[in-house]
Amino acid sequence: MTGIPKQLPFTNGAGKQWLSEMMPGFILCLVVGMAAKFVSEHYGGPTILYALLMGMSLNYLSQEGRCIAGIQFAAKSVLRFGIALLGARITFEQLLGLGFTPIAIVLAGVPATILFGYFCGQWLKLSKSQSVLSGASVGICGASAALAVSAVLPEDKESEKNLIFTVISVTALSTVAMIAYPLIVTGLNLSEAESGIFLGATIHDVAQVVGAGYMMSDDVGDVATFTKLLRVAALVPVVIVISLLFAKKGKAKSQGGSSLPLPGFLIAFVVIVAINSTGYIPQLVLDGMTELSRWCLIIAMVGLGMKASFKELSEMGWRPIALMVAETVFLAALVAIWLFMAR
């Protein structure tokens, strides 16, 4: 019968060779990711951090052997696919329902934190890419923002090490904030709405925002979660702007030879958010996309961890840590001042 291919894409020689190269490393990352998920569910703590640390303990596997190609595939291709699916978590209606105050705080806080990180990083003699990466991770949504922004920053020999260091640092700071910030908002005598806005606008990772918010009350948790979603939505324009800026300087990463400076995963993210906002995607499908995105990011973090080592991270010195702590304090102070002025 004409018009029907005699072979499926992965049954020809090239497809079989690709699978044989990718599968060992990919399956390894999946198994380690499942172990990280198990530890997180049974003993507490962020899954992504466990995945990263477990991957780093297997760093030698990325140096030689059959797993190299699959680890690289997990750290790049799976990562970008997972970022695109993050769009299934938010809608425009959710964000607009927050009112003016959290929107204004996010619109001011996100770019201010990134700019603060950039100039502070320059003062600390860090690279522009590392300064922007840390500022975006603190200002937007922690590890997810770091993963997305790193995909449009210029590649060099330090790129992956900077990303891994940023993910570890921002996750650790977010965990500390989850414990400390509820005590801070209580000491500042903030209302439930103000407490939720503060937690959602300052804590880095979504999971820690939810934990800190609902630790105080359901109302605080609801406001904190929606405020955090607004920060997550800021990922789209921020990555677009960063991509355009580096493209203008002729430094952007190659995106398959396309003249469009925007990476495909970012376009897919925006499209998914827009479609999700229409309400046409069934809830079962949204749940599946969200879960798949979560697993893609876990697998990607295992792959990234396998490509780094504790020795390499220890050689980065005190400056990157000082930068991220300074950005965290700056963002918290900015939001607190804004809330007091808005009363």
Within a domain: 13: no
Tokens 């499908």 sit on residue: 285
Lowest mean per-residue pLDDT among 33-42, 105-114, 117-126, 199-208: 199-208
pLDDT at 310: 61
pLDDT at 261: 44
pLDDT at 1: 46
Report how many domains make up the chain. Answer: 1
Within a domain: 168: yes
Range of the domain at 314: 24-341
Within a domain: 164: yes
pTM of the model: 0.66
Q: What average pLDDT score do residues 200-208 get?
A: 84
Within a domain: 278: yes
Within a domain: 262: yes
pLDDT band, residue 331 (cuts 50/70/90): very high
pLDDT at 332: 93
- Residue 23 phi/psi, 5° resolution? -60, -45
**What sign has the CA pseudo-torsion 65, 30, 290, 216?**
negative
Q: What is the pLDDT of residues 217-255, one digit of tens each?
A: 877 887 887 788 778 878 888 888 888 877 655 544 444
Within a domain: 268: yes
pLDDT band, residue 75 (cuts 50/70/90): confident
Within a domain: 19: no
Within a domain: 336: yes
Q: What is the pLDDT of residues 280-292, one digit of tens each?
A: 888 899 889 988 9
